[in-house]
């Protein structure tokens, strides 16, 4: 392939891709669902073939891009019109926290662990699972969070609060993960397993293995989420 042909292929591929992307719409850029991910990878691969593979004519390369764009647009139209098709093409949002309880079965379905869930919550400026009423894992991989009413943002002046009550700890700290005690975190809080077991008994929990997740909140109390919570 000559330099002139390569330059021509690059120019044609660029403007073709720009034109087709505008036709497909902004959703391809704003939401990365399974369908959008596959579509983006395929279009990128086809563009690379058009530019670099001399065995593929420019016409065939452009036709391949146009054909894939048509498939994307048609499936997008079906996605809009049919809720059932939308579930097949893009998947369904998953409720990971409901009424303040972690749905561990839903976590497994979306291949997340508690650490990953906490990381997503921190991105939403939520530093304690106990502050969350609902958390929904959207089809584009983002987490939508609704805090408990008492934890929703309000101005101190709205509540007439001048001096907030002191907190025992700066942030909530995880102490049990999937039935296992995180002793290092307990030690950082100057707590021990005896204290933890006592708190669990007060909450009616007889065995640590029954606990999916627990954290010491900023006020020193223990938030507990039992195993086998299910959606109803």
Domains recognised in the chain with CATH numbers: 3-89 (no CATH), 94-150 (3.30.240.20), 167-226 (3.30.240.20)
How sure is the predictor about 155, in pLDDT bands with cuts at 50, 70 and 90?
A: low
Check whether 137 has a pLDDT greater than 70.
yes
Closest CA to 185 of 124, 121, 126, 118: 118
Closest CA to 148 of 215, 95, 99, 221: 99
The residue to which tokens 């049919």 are assigned: 82
Give the DSSP letter of residue 207: -
How sure is the predictor about 26, in pLDDT bands with cuts at 50, 70 and 90?
A: low
Please, are residues 207 and 176 in contact by the beta-carbon 8 Å criterion? no
Instruction: List pLDDT tens digits, range 36-87.
Output: 778 888 888 989 988 888 888 889 989 999 998 888 888 877 877 776 776 6
Please, are residues 134 and 98 in contact by the beta-carbon 8 Å criterion? yes
How sure is the predictor about 200, in pLDDT bands with cuts at 50, 70 and 90?
A: very high
| The pLDDT of residue 201 | 92
Q: Is the pTM of this model over 0.85?
A: no
> What's the whole-number average pLDDT of the chain?
82
- Range with lowest mean pLDDT among 22-31, 111-120, 122-131: 22-31
C-alpha distances (whole Å) from 213 to each of 24, 102, 104, 206 are 43, 8, 10, 15
Residue 26: Cβ within 10 Å count: 9
| The pLDDT of residue 159 | 57
Q: Which residues of 179-218 are buried (b: 16+ CB within 10 A; e: fewer)?
A: eebbeebbeeeebeeeebeebbeeeebeeeeebbbbbbbb
Alpha helices in the chain (DSSP H): 3-24, 27-30, 34-52, 58-81, 83-90, 104-109, 114-123, 156-159, 183-188, 193-202
């Amino acid at each position: 392939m000559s330099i002139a042909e390569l330059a021509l292929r690059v120019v044609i591929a660029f403007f073709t891709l720009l034109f087709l992307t505008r036709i497909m719409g902004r959703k391809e850029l704003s939401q990365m669902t399974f369908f959008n991910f596959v579509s983006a990878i395929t279009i990128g691969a086809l563009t690379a073939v058009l530019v670099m593979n001399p065995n593929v004519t420019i016409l065939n390369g452009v036709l391949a891009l146009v054909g894939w764009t048509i498939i994307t647009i048609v499936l997008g139209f079906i996605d809009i019109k049919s809720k059932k098709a939308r579930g097949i093409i893009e998947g369904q949002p998953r409720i990971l926290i409901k009424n303040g309880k972690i749905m561990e079965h839903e976590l497994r379905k979306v291949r997340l662990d508690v650490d990953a869930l906490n990381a997503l919550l921190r991105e939403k400026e939520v530093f304690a699972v106990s502050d969350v009423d609902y958390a929904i894992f959207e089809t584009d991989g983002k987490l939508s969070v609704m805090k408990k009413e008492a934890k929703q943002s309000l101005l101190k002046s709205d509540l007439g609060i001048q001096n907030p009550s002191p907190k025992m700890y700066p942030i909530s700290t995880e102490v049990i993960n999937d039935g296992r005690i995180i002793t290092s975190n307990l030690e950082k809080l100057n707590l021990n397993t005896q204290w933890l077991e006592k708190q669990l008994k007060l909450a009616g929990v007889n065995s640590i293995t029954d606990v999916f997740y627990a954290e010491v909140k900023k006020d020193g109390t223990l938030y507990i989420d039992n195993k086998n919570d299910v959606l109803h």
